[in-house]
């Protein structure tokens, strides 16, 4: 027993020593990186400078595109935060918020580096396409980590994963209501991940953002054996704390929603030490659990009777779909008692598409 104890003490000492050398070595690298040029693709920002440019997605098995980004490399060292807007083509509040943020943050006041992806999916944005790319018809937020030799959406996902996530400490994927969606302001954060520290950071981001509604998302709801699909999960798997948020609805750009989004992002930056100032904490969020989707089983014309944030009881008739001549094909009833998170308001509906997203609001959630 005694010998084993001595051995363990030696082992512990060695582990501490090695740990110290490891931490010193890598923190020196981190400091060194923060004291020099920050590079993404061919875009370089010297310390204390801002740089703008595009990541090129070269032509492959289909046409190419580009991703416009801004790097703000702070005068002082600190973490790297990436904000991604425009993964979906008609979610405009994050896109306009990102543009405004660049005008309001100076490198001099910044500790660390801010990477802003202004519009991740230019093909979808340019064509005003909801959900999917007009080139390959893929939903960019279902195909991470992407493929270097895949279709254009897969190559965008690959580039975001390898050029941007890999250089980040924090990653926020910013979405909102597409033109056909009424949607509440909410976000997803992770719990129950193997690296508890990463989940703590995701929780911290979520509670700094200021969204009223928060979805705790169990980390392994997508098994590790499957591709991540979602950009925030891909970031997590790469050791980057992440959240996905939703701001604004119906593709509208309302000044009060932009202001709220800007306030949230700046508060996150204060919380993680990138900006000076005392951050606020969202002390009374409403957590959403037991999320249910109601999907259409037909192509047809959609009618819905409920609005975002409306509380409905289980079994309530909430809408129906008709054929093109007006005959009712199916009715929709709420599968749970809860609030409407998303409701589609565009008459055009297709088989397999979700019509309603409903969840139970609670003051506390169980992990």
Catalog residues that contact Zn ion under the rule CB under 5 A.
88, 91, 175
Q: How far is the CB of 177 from Zn ion (least distance, A)?
A: 9
Task: Provide the minimum distance between the beta carbon of 132 and Zn ion in the complex, in angstroms, as a whole number.
Answer: 11
Neighbouring-strand partners of residue 295: 354
Is the Cβ of residue 175 or residue 260 nearer to Zn ion in the bound state?
Answer: 175
Instruction: Give the whole-angstrom CA distance, residue 51 versus residue 47.
Output: 10
Strand partners, 304: 319
Smallest distance, Zn ion to C-beta of residue 91, A: 5
Distance of CA 63 to the CA centre of its chain: 26
Tell the smallest beta-carbon distance from residue 64 to Zn ion (Å): 23
Residue pair 284/265 in contact (Cβ under 8 Å)? The answer is no
44 versus 291: smaller Cβ distance to Zn ion: 291
For residues 113 and 121, which CB has a smaller minimum distance to Zn ion in the complex?
121
CB of 4 to Zn ion, least distance (A): 56
Residue 302, both tokens: 């959609």
180/296 with CB nearer Zn ion: 180
- Strand 65-73 with 348-349, pairing: unpaired
Beta strands (DSSP E) in the chain are 38-40, 43-45, 49-57, 65-73, 76-84, 111-117, 170-175, 181-183, 186-191, 213-218, 241-246, 286-295, 300-304, 311-312, 317-322, 328-333, 338-344, 348-349, 354-362
> Least CB distance from residue 186 to Zn ion, whole Å?
12
Instruction: Using alpha carbons, select from 175, 171, 167, 172 the residue that is nearest to residue 43.
Output: 167
DSSP states of 246-285: E--STT---HHHHHHHHHHHHHHHHHTTSS-SPPP---SP
Cα–Cα distance for residue pair 139/151, rounded to 1 Å: 12
Other beta carbons within 10 angstroms of residue 316's beta carbon come to: 14
Rank residues 175 and 266 by Cβ distance to Zn ion and give the closer one.
Answer: 175
CB of 119 to Zn ion, least distance (A): 12
CB closer to Zn ion, 93 vs 275: 93
Rounded CA separation 106/190 (Å)? 31
Counting Cβ atoms within 10 Å, is residue 304 exposed (0-12), middle (13-18) or buried (19+)?
Answer: buried
Which one, 51 or 152, has the nearer CB to Zn ion? Answer: 152
88 vs 118 by CB, closer to Zn ion: 88
Closest distance to Zn ion from the beta carbon of 87 (Å)? 6
């Amino acid at each position: 027993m005694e010998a084993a104890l001595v051995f363990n003490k030696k082992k512990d000492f060695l582990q501490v020593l090695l740990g110290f050398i490891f931490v010193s070595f890598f923190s020196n690298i981190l400091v060194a990186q923060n004291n020099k040029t920050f590079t993404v693709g061919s875009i370089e920002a010297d310390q204390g400078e801002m740089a703008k440019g595009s990541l090129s997605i070269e032509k492959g098995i289909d046409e190419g595109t580009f991703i416009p980004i801004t790097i703000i490399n702070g005068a002082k060292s600190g973490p790297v935060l990436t904000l991604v807007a425009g993964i979906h083509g008609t979610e405009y509040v994050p896109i306009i918020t990102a543009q405004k943020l660049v005008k309001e943050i100076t490198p001099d006041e910044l500790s660390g580096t801010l990477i802003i992806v202004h519009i991740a999916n230019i093909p979808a944005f340019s064509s005003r396409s909801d959900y999917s790319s007009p080139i390959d018809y893929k939903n960019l937020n279902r195909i991470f980590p992407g493929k270097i030799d895949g279709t254009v959406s897969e190559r965008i996902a690959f580039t975001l994963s390898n050029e941007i996530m890999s250089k980040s400490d924090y990653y926020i994927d910013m979405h909102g209501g597409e033109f056909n969606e009424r949607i509440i302001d909410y976000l997803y954060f992770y719990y129950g991940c193997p690296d508890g520290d990463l989940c703590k950071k995701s929780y911290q981001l979520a509670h700094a953002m200021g969204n009223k509604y928060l979805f705790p998302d169990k980390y392994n709801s997508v098994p590790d054996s499957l591709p991540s699909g979602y950009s925030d999960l891909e970031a997590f798997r790469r050791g980057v704390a992440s959240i996905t948020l939703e701001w604004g609805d119906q593709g509208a750009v309302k000044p009060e929603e932009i202001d709220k989004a800007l306030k949230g992002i700046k508060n996150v930056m204060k919380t993680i030490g990138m900006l000076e100032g005392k951050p606020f904490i969202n002390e009374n969020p409403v957590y959403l659990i037991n999320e249910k989707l109601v999907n259409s089983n037909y192509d047809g014309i959609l009618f819905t009777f409920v609005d975002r944030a409306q509380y409905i009881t289980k079994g309530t008739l909430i809408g129906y779909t008709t054929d093109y001549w007006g005959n009712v094909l199916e009715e929709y009833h709420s599968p749970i008692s809860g609030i409407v998170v998303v409701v589609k308001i565009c008459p055009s509906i297709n088989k397999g598409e979700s019509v309603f997203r409903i969840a139970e609001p609670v003051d506390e959630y169980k992990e």
